[in-house]
Chains A and B, each alone.
Chain A
């Protein structure tokens, strides 16, 4: 068989595989959308604000609720929650305006 034909079949096979993955995506996303109604019900009933992603520090468990001073202060000797601390940094609430100003700087 010609080498170019083998390459063509390989590329075609990959595209067919991707199409099959696309079809499974469609099925799984539809299932998630059906479940997301129940998830939304849990969120609304329990008034949840964050997803349970990394629970090793306040600012990684509830990034939207944590304060910007929470790094280093979870318990004595807790220097930094690496690596999840670099993935989920403390939030930026600067859009709400400064709550504290340091004078004389």
Chain B
């Protein structure tokens, strides 16, 4: 068959689809919606995962928490000395951090003690971080600044665990590009964190352990556990694995959002695969009666499936891209945000995994074409007279 004859069959198919435009438009809309939802989830989860991996590459290799009655407790700072004596450990630094509920804006902040200053060329902090031992100053995340209407030089007031009001001069505000990491952060000097949370002397929230060779980290974690059985070491690999699980295929995110779309698609494919309408059967019978071959009819149905599924796939994937990377996944935002008051205004970097797109195409376009062709082939091999009479 020449190209022209293929185009003739395609012309006929398109005219036939236009004759039942409302039904076909409905299918295209549902199909586009399914690809849009699935594509959005794939884009969102993959980009989150890649960003999280890149951002958290610099997090501590090992965190040691103390557990008491199954819950996390403050850890004695003195243990740092014993842990640093373990071969392979190059440094142990106590971390002082916790959560602070602000009844004014009904938001939770993460309060963290400063442990140094950022590199000189860092563009993501306007101003500076408080020095580790500095008192009365703070650097805040963009989300906190927005919630409390704070600018550089303003004062932020927090109430300590003892009930005293503590005022801090804002000397730094994180730029909005770092919101996914810093939106709810308030960085204070160590003495202020200890006073704010009324932490007992010589106690820290947890210990950050630096190791000389990261491959040895699990062995060191094992040694720490046997030396201090009430501790829970958390490896950086586990932190990264947590994000892999949160944004992975088997995650709650996928299950929550994907299940509805999957069921809708199965219903659609089932409806198509279980048979043709009487009108479609009659059309096939008439075409056979006027001399169309079975192969022509299968080609027509192939084009029909391809026109609907490819158009829907392309539209769905374009809409998903625009939704996730230009509108910050606004459809999913309520589910991701939950009850958070401070929510990062993130613009995800469009990391695209071509394999996932190819898989999505293979899982939507090909089954749809197959479910269109198979019932038509059954009708096409039946005697035209029998098909037309029903």
By a beta-carbon cutoff of 8 Å, the part of chain A in contact with chain B is 2-4, 6-7, 10-11, 14-15, 17-18, 21-22, 24-25, 28-29, 31-33, 35-36, 38-56, 58, 60-65, 67, 69, 81-89, 91-93, 95-97, 99-100
Contact = CB atoms under 8 A, between A and B. Distances in A.
B131 interface: no
The 3 closest A-B pairs by CB, nearest first: A84-B338, A32-B349, A44-B58
A53 to B, nearest CB: 7
A42 B321 contact: no
A21 to B, nearest CB: 5
Contact of B232 (A18, A46, A87, A96): A96
Task: Determine which residue in A18, A53, A58, A82 has the highest number of CB atoms from chain B within 10 A of its CB, and name it.
Answer: A53
A32 B108 CA distance: 28
Given A56-B339, A65-B63, A65-B72, 6 more contacts: A14-B315, A28-B325, A55-B184, A83-B335, A83-B338, A93-B238
B57 A43 contact: yes
Given A35-B177, A67-B71, A87 B342 contact: no
Interface string B304-341: 00010011001101100100010000000011111111
Interface string B237-268: 01100110110000111011000000000000
- Interface SS, A side: helix
B336 to A, nearest CB: 6
29 contacts: A3-B10, A18-B317, A32-B54, A38-B121, A38-B122, A40-B54, A40-B55, A42-B125, A42-B174, A47-B59, A47-B93, A47-B115, A50-B56, A51-B180, A52-B183, A54-B336, A55-B110, A55-B183, A55-B340, A61-B108, A64-B234, A64-B239, A64-B243, A67-B67, A69-B70, A84-B337, A85-B338, A87-B246, A88-B252
Contact of A99 (B55, B67, B182): B67
A61 B277 CA distance: 53
B107 A55 contact: yes
Interface of B: 7, 10-11, 14-15, 18, 51-52, 54-60, 63, 65, 67, 70-72, 93, 95, 99, 107-110, 112, 114-119, 121-125, 129, 141, 143, 174, 177-185, 187, 206, 208, 221, 225, 232-234, 238-239, 242-243, 245-246, 251-253, 255-256, 307, 310-311, 314-315, 317-318, 321, 325, 334-344, 349-352
B110 A52 contact: yes
B106 to A, nearest CB: 10
B107 A42 contact: no
Given A63-B246, A84-B339, A96-B232, A52 B344 contact: yes
Nearest to B143: A52
Nearest to A13: B314
B7 A52 contact: no
Contacts of B338: 54, 56, 60, 81-85, 87
A13 B351 CA distance: 23
A33 B349 CA distance: 9
A51 to B, nearest CB: 5
B366 to A, nearest CB: 17
A91 B340 contact: no
Contacts of B59: 43-44, 47-49
Contacts of A18: 314, 317-318, 321
B36 to A, nearest CB: 14
Given A47-B59, A51-B55, A67-B70, A58 B99 contact: yes
A104 B245 CA distance: 33
